[in-house]
Amino acid sequence: MADTVQEFVFNLTFPFTRTLGSTLSTFSSALVQGQIIGVRTGGRVIAPPLEYDPDTAADSGTDWVRVGPKGTVSTWTWVPEPTNLHPLDHAFGFAFITLDGADTPMLHLVDTGSESAMAAGMRVEAKFKAPTDRVGRIDDIIAFVPATDPSPSEGAGEPFVAPEENDITEMDAFCDLQYVDNASPTTIMWAKALMEGRIIGQKCPQCDRTIVGPRGMCSVCAIELDESHIFEVPGRGVVSNFTIVTPTPYPGQTETEPFARCSILLDGADAVIAQQEILDVPVSEIRVGIHVEVVWAPENERSAADIDNRSRGSGGDIIVGWRTTGEPDEPAARYLDRMM
């Protein structure tokens, strides 16, 4: 089937901002200045600091301690081929590094150039980004590198006096994950029919309901449905429900004005198709009961590229939308007791 997609790539990317709270704000504000700190709690120094003592759940308090910039590797590993999420683009080590002045290790990168240089007990020191590039995040430290002088860090273990107000109270982060899903037999069936200008559902042999678009199962009887249960429905139906979305700006949002998304119950179907657009009715006049018919994209402009397993019942770029037929509105009794 050349004209439907067999596999589709989905990039889950979004930025977000985390508030840090007082403990992490203190850590981040010191980090920007090139100072790593820990917190003394329960008789030991935890670095980087946590808001609570992991043993007792007690508040860790504000007994800040200067730690590092040198430390000692306890356990380590080696990443021969970094992923897009790793901060370095060449092979590097990860290690637990107990910073001078601290009693618990921190996890960070060790940039030695070669796996054979990694060893438990090795002395390393933090290599910071340039001051103007720092944002108060753990990756302000580019990596740890072998210490040129293994002697103890100067000032480590001494108290750190936090400013009255922290400079940094938030942290920007970015999610960047890629998925590659493959079209299920049901999705291929649906997309193929749409490309041919047909809308299909599946009729359950047990309860006689027709489900549009096909979902490969009857969600009332919980039985499998396949190609033998295909049931063609006309491209005509009734708006059975709707919502008006008032767009707020967020990354990826392209809409600026309120728009309606409608559920449509096609003639002869028992399940609605959702998230449909009515082309010729102003948002303020959208209502339940309007008779509509499908508007197909011209055959040479149809594409099933956007029809994936996640968009069940979506018309992708094959169905442009729906337009009113001009018939009188349907009474509510016609579209009660239907399925999503």
Where does this chain bind other proteins (CB under 8 A)? 10, 12, 18, 20, 24, 46, 48, 50, 54, 74-80, 82-87, 94-96, 104-109, 115, 118, 120, 137-139, 171, 173, 175, 177-186, 215-224, 309-310, 312, 339
Min dist. Cβ of residue 80 to other proteins (A): 7
Task: Return the half-sphere exposure (C-beta side, CA atoms, 13 A cut-off) of residue 157.
Answer: 9
Question: Cα separation of 309 and 323, whole Å?
Answer: 26
Task: Name the residue nearer to other proteins (CB basis): 107 or 244.
Answer: 107
The string of DSSP letters for 71-123 reads EEEEEEEEESS--TTSS-SS-EEEEEEEETT-SS-EEEEE--SSGGG--TT-E
Hey, is 244 helix, strand or coil? Answer: strand
Q: What is the largest CA-CA distance in the chain?
A: 88
Task: Name the residue nearer to other proteins (CB basis): 303 or 309.
Answer: 309
Task: Name the residue nearer to other proteins (CB basis): 33 or 184.
Answer: 184
Task: Check if the beta carbon of residue 5 is closer than 8 Å to that of residue 195.
Answer: no
Hey, is 218 helix, strand or coil? Answer: strand
Min dist. Cβ of residue 311 to other proteins (A): 10
| 85, β-bridge pairs | none
Min dist. Cβ of residue 300 to other proteins (A): 29
Task: Name the residue nearer to other proteins (CB basis): 45 or 233.
Answer: 45
Min dist. Cβ of residue 262 to other proteins (A): 20
Task: Check if the beta carbon of residue 76 is closer than 8 Å to that of residue 68.
Answer: no
Min dist. Cβ of residue 205 to other proteins (A): 14
Question: Cα separation of 140 and 28, whole Å?
Answer: 9
Min dist. Cβ of residue 199 to other proteins (A): 20
What are the angstrom distances between the C-alpha of 297 and each of 50, 212, 234, 261? 57, 20, 16, 19
Min dist. Cβ of residue 175 to other proteins (A): 6
Task: Name the residue nearer to other proteins (CB basis): 84 or 300.
Answer: 84
Question: Cα separation of 11 and 180, whole Å?
Answer: 9
Task: Name the residue nearer to other proteins (CB basis): 138 or 295.
Answer: 138
Task: Name the residue nearer to other proteins (CB basis): 70 or 312.
Answer: 312
